A = this chain, B = another copy of it.
Amino acid sequence: MSKQVQFEHVARVPLNNIKIKDDFWSYYINLVRSVVVPYQWEALNDRIEAAEPSGAIRNFKIAAGLEEGEFYGMVFQDSDVAKWLEAVSYLLESQPDPELERTADEVIEIIAKAQQEDGYLNTYYTLKEPGRRWSNLAECHELYCAGHMIEAGVAYYRATGKRKLLDIVSRLADHIDSVFGTEPGKLQGYDGHQEIKLALVKLYHATGNERYLRLAQYFVEQRGQKPNFYEMQLLERGGESHWTGIDHAFDLEHTQSHALVREQEKAVGHAVREVYMLTGMVDIAAETKDESLLAACERLWDNIVSRQMYITGAIGSMAQGEAFSFDYDLPNDTAYAETCASIGLIFFAHRMLRTSQKAEYADVLERALYNTVVAGMSRDGKRFFYVNPQEVDPKACSGANHKFDHIKPVRQEWFGCACCPPNVARLLSSLGEYIYMVQGDTLYTHLYISGEAELSVGGSTVRVKQSSNYPWDGRIKLEVHPEQPGEFAVALRIPGWCKNASLSVNNETYPLNGQTIQNGYVRVARIWQQGDIVELTLDMPVERMRSHPLVRGNAGKVALQRGPLVYCLEQADNGANLHGLILPAEAKLETKYEADLLDGIVVIMAEGLREDAASWPGGLYSSESATALREEKVTFIPYYAWANRGEGEMSVWVREKL
């Protein structure tokens, strides 16, 4: 257990106190507001012709008795509506929008009518299998959907002060509490796709009702108890499975129910479930000051980030089960690396930061955010990656070799299983939550995102204005405006990727050393005056990143990173057959800002080498001398921006010539 752990309450910063004005992020947030959320609304209402229908709103209308028809879609279709409502809530919290709010109110009216007398709320079971509630927890997502609706209810209440959805989800949570528990007559089950625990902690915060916290605790402790609840339910169902060809109830690791959560040593199974579980576990550990539970979270954090995470902050090394595989198994071309899993990793990192302000957590958060999450969405906000490969050969996809069936070389429109797009929307619309954190008398700056914030530090209000050209430039300026002069600390993260940093306060150099830097944060404690200026300079040279020697697929390869951005090679810049490119160890890496490329990016260029296919003597194998190498300019672009110029090869890792 780390000594830095503290269980003091870290208050959430309301989004209306955070104004993001950032060249990089404002684009995406505006995209969420103007394109993604409206587009998703159309999709939820089955009005996107090119995409598979969603049925999600219609399911609620049918359950509400407002329309006739049958349930359509996945067993977790309800969650798309919940995630959309949650994203809408964050947008409204950041900036009023009466029309959007009216639309949301209308949806909430429908949801209210779809809720059953006893508080139960799930359109799949209500419409399709009315008598079989809670009969297949391992596979059927009832508690997952409930969790998302609870998150939406809390977010909408915070944004608008309106209680209607909060009351709906409170009744739903009360109902769940009446069904589950160790008391006689209750189901001793727990959530299949994890999500509800973190949602119940939010509901506890919003309502102050400790029953929700205790229910979340129950779900954590019950998981993995023997005999296994899912196996018992499977027997009760006579072996019946919801999904054809998959049986999650047989694969206990898939649902992290193979062992008690406190005893789990490695991240296993479905990656999104794992990180949603861990997010909830940290929340509960923090609320209940449960050090051993937190120790389990730290252990699994270490396993993920030091053995099972792609350099882009993606997780989930295999397609089958959308799952973690094993330590150091990080294949580039068959990665699952789901966008939602990186979003879950961000949630987990953010919760870890709340208990322990270590830059390591924010580093991972930043890595996942600036690389995988942004890569998940096209520059026009209309197409999404579900899976984020680290290397793509379009020739290999679409059945040419079935091990790549899950890999799409271009982003897809709204999916039949549409978890990722609304997840991106709710994360980006709540991005303001992740920049600052106040703990005691210290104002932590985790992310370098320009804008203004009003924060309560040690009882008084402090206005902070951050400006930079991050992630392209490492010079960051922080103007501090306390209501009145006061003593407190401002802590700024020195990212793990930064080897040289300097800081000045009101133009005076502030020493960066073991005294001033703690856990990766430089802490400036002083009496702050209106308009004090902190300037942080993070050197941002291009770094050649290498992987741990046990990462088989990256042996002999490097990836380039500059600041928080991981780079990649794309066919659009470098032609086909990227595997034939080599970066000499001594090659100079030059950077250039290209204003017209991909809405403005810094590219990295180098004198590389290319295997000259023309020199190949012929045949499939040859004992003639190695293929000749010729000099060729290679160009790297940020990974997040790939696949915005048509279909082509991409590779994060490139062979290095020593």
Contacts and interface: CB of A to CB of B under 8 A. Distances in A.
Interface of A: 244-245, 305-307, 309, 311, 317-321, 325-326, 329, 331, 334, 393, 395-396, 400-403, 497, 499, 543-552, 555-556, 558-559, 561, 577, 579-580, 582, 585, 611, 613, 616, 619-624, 626-627, 629, 655-658
Contacts of A552: 393, 579
Contact of A626 (B334, B621, B627, B656): B656
Nearest to A244: B245
Given A325-B400, A497-B623, 14 more contacts: A306-B620, A320-B403, A325-B402, A326-B395, A544-B623, A545-B621, A548-B619, A549-B611, A549-B627, A556-B655, A558-B626, A559-B621, A626-B658, A629-B658
A542 B613 CA distance: 24
Given A306-B620, A626-B585, A657-B658, A549 B329 contact: no
A611 B557 CA distance: 13
A621 B556 contact: no
Contacts of A556: 556, 582, 655
A586 to B, nearest CB: 12
Contacts of A245: 244-245
A623 B543 contact: yes
A549 B311 contact: no
A326 B401 contact: yes
Contact of A622 (B545, B555, B620): B545
B401 A329 contact: yes
A-B residue pairs, 4 tightest by C-beta: A320-B402, A543-B623, A325-B401, A326-B400
Contact of A403 (B334, B561, B629, B657): B334
Nearest to A553: B579
A305 B618 CA distance: 12
Contacts of A244: 245
Contact of A580 (B549, B577, B629): B549
13 contacts: A306-B619, A311-B621, A326-B400, A403-B403, A497-B623, A499-B623, A546-B626, A548-B620, A549-B580, A549-B613, A550-B577, A555-B580, A556-B655
Contacts of A656: 626
A613 B552 CA distance: 13
A657 B334 CA distance: 26
A539 to B, nearest CB: 12
Contacts of A497: 623
A495 to B, nearest CB: 12
B580 A318 contact: no
A400 B621 contact: no
A557 to B, nearest CB: 9
Contacts of A326: 395-396, 400-401
Contacts of A550: 577, 613
A47 to B, nearest CB: 32
A311 B307 CA distance: 33
A242 B401 CA distance: 24
A190 to B, nearest CB: 24
